[in-house]
Amino acid sequence: MSGSYATAPASAERLKAFTDAVVAIAMTVLVLPLMESVTDLGGDGGSVADWFDRHNGQLVSFALSFVLIATFWQTNHRVFAQLERVTPALLWLSVAWMFTIVWLPVPTAMLGSMREDDAQKIVYIGSLIVTSLVSLAIRGYLLRHPGLHRTEPALLRRGILADATSIALFAIALILSIAVPAIGYWAMLLLLLFGPMHALVTRVFERRRA
C-alpha cells in the first residue's frame, strides 16, 4: 500500500506555487551584479553617468534575461494552468526546468563582465536552448498523460511546436553569433521572428495531420 501511495499522482497546486517562487527568486538574483557594481563604483567616487557608461553591457544582459525568464514563466504558467495532478516523472521534469531558470543568472552575469567569446555564447544561448528543450519535454509528457490535466491535446501540440520553433531560433542565433563575431548577441533579434515562424510551422503541421 505504501508503495502505491508513493507513486500516486499528487496535487499540482504546491508545485505551481513552488515554481512561481523559484522563478521570482531567479528574476531577483539577476539584479545582484548590478547592485554590486553600484557599490564598487560608488566607493571609487564614480558618478551615475560613469556607472551607466561602464555597465551598459550588464544592463542589456539583465534586461534581456529578465524578459526571457518572464517569457519562460508565462509559457510554463499556461502549461500548468489546467494541471490537476503531478506524477514523480512530471515533478522531476519540472525540477529540471526550474534548474535551468535558476542557472540563467550565472551566464547573464558573464555577459556584461567578461570578454565576449564563443564559450560565453555557447553557455548563455545554450542555456536558453536547454530550458526550451525541458519545456518541450514537459508538454510531450502531458500530451501522453491526459489524465493529469484538462488541456486540449491540440493546444499541447501547438505548444510543442512553439518550443521547437524557439529551439530552432536559439540554435540559429548561436550559430550565427559564432560564425559572424561582428553580429554577436544581436543575433538574438531572430526571436522577433518567433510569431510568424510558429504560425508557419503550425499550418504545415496541421496540413500534414489533415
The C-alpha atoms of residue 103 and residue 112 are separated, in whole angstroms, by: 16
pLDDT digits (tens, 9 = 90+) for 175-195: 999 999 999 889 999 999 999
Query: Would you list the domain boundaries of the chain?
Result: 2-209
Q: What is the DSSP letter of 210?
A: -
pLDDT digits (tens, 9 = 90+) for 70-121: 999 999 999 999 999 999 999 999 999 999 999 999 999 888 777 889 999 9
Confirm whether pTM is higher than 0.75. yes
DSSP per position, 134-173: HHHHHHHHHHH-GGGB---HHHHHHHHHHHHHHHHHHHHH
The C-alpha atoms of residue 29 and residue 49 are separated, in whole angstroms, by: 24
Q: What is the DSSP letter of 12?
A: S
What is the helix (H) or strand (E) element at residue 10, kind and residue range? strand 10-11
